[in-house]
Amino acid sequence: MSATMFGAPLSLYSGKARSYLDWKGVDYTEVLATPDIHQSEIVPAVGRPVIPVVKLEDGTILQDTTVIIDHFEAASEGPSVYPQTPRQLLAALLLETYGDEWLVIPAMHYRWNYNEQWVYGEFGKVALPDGTPDEQREAGMKRGAAFKGFVPVLGINEATIPAIEASYEALLRDLDTHFAKHPFLFGSRPSIGDYGLIGPLYAHNYRDPASGEIMKRIAPRVAEWVERMIAPEPLSGDFLGGDEIPDTLVPVLHRMMTEQLPHLETVAQMLGEWAKANGPYAELPRALGMAGFTIEGTEGERIAAPFSLWMLQRALDYLSSLEGDDRAACETMLHDCGGDALIGFVMPVRLVFENHKLRVEAG
C-alpha cells in the first residue's frame, strides 16, 4: 500500500520521518506542504498546521513522527528499529527523547543565529514553489518570522548561547568518537535513537549551510552518519550482540541526564499541579509555562512542554516493565551515565496522545 507524506526539506521532523520511511522501504510519495496543502489536507485532518503528516491509502492520518514510525513498525515485517534487548532498547528510547525534545535547542539556535538569511529563502520555496527568488524571499520572511519567534521561549538568548554552543560542540565530538567505531548508535542498524537524533542533526545542523560547515569541521564522522541516515540501505544491518552499550555512548547519555532530565523533573511537577487544577478532561496546552534548565553551568528558562513527558513516558513504561536481571542491568546502565533520577522518576499523571492531541488519561 502506498502512502503520502506531507513535509518539507527544511523541516526537522520531516527529516526524521523521511529517513525512517526510506530505511523501512515504505512505498510513499512526499508532497511539499505548501499553504494550499495545509489548507486542503493538513488542517482539516489534524486541526492545526503541522508537518510531517502521513496519509495512508485508506485515508487514515498519522501525525507525529513517533506515531508514524510505530505504525509502520507494526504494519511491516522485517528488521525493526527497536532493539530487542533491555539496555539497548531503553537507551534508544531515551535518545529519541533527547533528540526530539532537547536538541531542538541547538538546532534552532544555529538556524536562526547563523543561517537566518538563507533559511528565509527555504521557507519561501515552500510558501511559493513557483515564485521568483525575490517573491520567495518576501514570502519566506513572513512565514519564517513565526518560527524565529520560538527562539527566546526555547531558552536561547545572549546569556545562554555560549553554553548552548559549548554543549553542542562537545556533543558533536562525543558522537564523532562513537561513529569512528560504529556506523549507528547500537551497531550497523539504525535504531529509534538514531531517528531521534537525525531530525535536528540533519534538517538544521547539517543541511543549513553555516551549521553544516561547523559539523563537517568539528565532527566529520557525524556528517558521514547523517549521510548514511538520509540515503540508507533499506532494512540493513544488525544491533550489537550481548545487549552491548558502547562506552562511547555513555558521554552522550550523560549529557542528556545532566541537561534534560532535571528540566523534565520540573516539568513533571508543573504537570501535576496543572492536572489538579484542571481535571482529567481538559485539553493540555502546548506549554505549561516556563521552567528552568542548566547547560554547561549556565541557567536559563524555556517552555515546559508536556509533550516531552509523553516521550519520556515511553522509556519509563519500558523500564517499569522489567524485572530481575534485565531491570538490574538497566539500572546499572542508568547509574553509569548519571541517570539515577530516572529510576525513581514519578509521572504525576499518565499522558495519552490520540486523535492528534495530547491529554491526561482519565481514571
Other Cβ atoms within 10 Å of 149 Cβ, number: 10
274: pLDDT strictly greater than 70: yes
Q: Which of 219, 242, 265 is the last residue of a domain?
A: 242
Which of 242, 257, 290 is where one domain is finished?
242
pLDDT at position 76? 87
Same-domain status, 259 and 237: no
Q: Is the peptide bond before 200 cis (omega within 30 degrees of 0)?
A: no
When pLDDT is averaged across residues 14-35 and rounded to a whole number, the result is 97
Residue 82 lies in a domain: no
Question: What's the pLDDT at 362?
Answer: 82
Please check whether residues 136 and 205 belong to one and the same domain.
Answer: yes
Output the domain CATH number for residue 202: 1.20.1050.10
Model confidence band, residue 1 (pLDDT cutoffs 50, 70, 90): low
Are 206 and 134 part of one and the same domain? yes
- The per-residue pLDDT for range 111-149, each reduced to its tens digit, is 999 999 999 999 999 999 999 999 999 999 999 999 999
* 113 and 150 assigned to the same domain: yes
Same domain, 170 and 58: no
CA–CA separation, 36 and 94 (whole Å)? 36
Q: Can you tell me the mean pLDDT for 75-86?
A: 95
Both 152 and 204 in one domain: the answer is yes
Q: Is the predicted pLDDT of residue 73 greater than 80, yes or no?
A: yes
Instruction: Tell whether 66 and 178 lie within a shared domain.
Output: no
* End position of a domain, from candidates 75, 98, 119: 75
pLDDT for 166 equals 98
In the chain, which ranges are E strands? 3-7, 28-32, 53-56, 61-63, 290-295, 298-303, 351-354, 357-360
Residue 50 CB neighbours (<10 A):
17
In a domain, 127, yes or no: yes
- Determine the pLDDT at residue 348: 95
Confidence label for 70 from pLDDT (cuts 50, 70 and 90): very high
Q: With contact defined as beta carbons under 8 Å apart, do 203 and 15 qualify?
A: yes
CB distance 94 to 308 below 8 Å:
no
User: pLDDT for 156-196, tens place per residue?
Assistant: 999 999 999 999 999 999 999 999 999 999 999 999 999 99
- 93 and 208, same domain (yes or no): yes
pTM, to two decimals: 0.97
CATH code: domain of residue 26: 3.40.30.10
Q: Would you state the pLDDT for residue 302?
A: 98
The pLDDT, as a whole number, for residue 150 is: 94
Residue 116 lies in a domain: yes
Tell me the C-alpha distance between 294 and 107, whole Å: 17
- Please compute the mean of the pLDDT values over residues 340-351 and round it to a whole number: 95
81 assigned to some structural domain: no
Q: Say yes or no: 101 and 217 in one domain.
A: yes
In a domain, 207, yes or no: yes
d(CA 362, CA 350): 8
Q: Are residues 158 and 219 in the same domain?
A: yes
- Pair (132, 258) in one structural domain: no
205-241 confidence digits (pLDDT tens): 999 999 999 999 999 999 999 999 999 999 999 999 9
Is residue 255 domain-shared with residue 212, that is, in the same domain?
Answer: no
Residue 252 lies in a domain: yes
The whole-chain average pLDDT of the chain stands at 96
Residue 158, in any domain of the structure: yes
Total number of domains in the chain = 3
- Contact status, residue 197 vs residue 229, Cβ threshold 8 Å: no
Domain that holds residue 131: 87-242
Classify residue 254: in a domain, yes or no.
yes
**First-residue to last-residue Cα distance in the chain:** 38
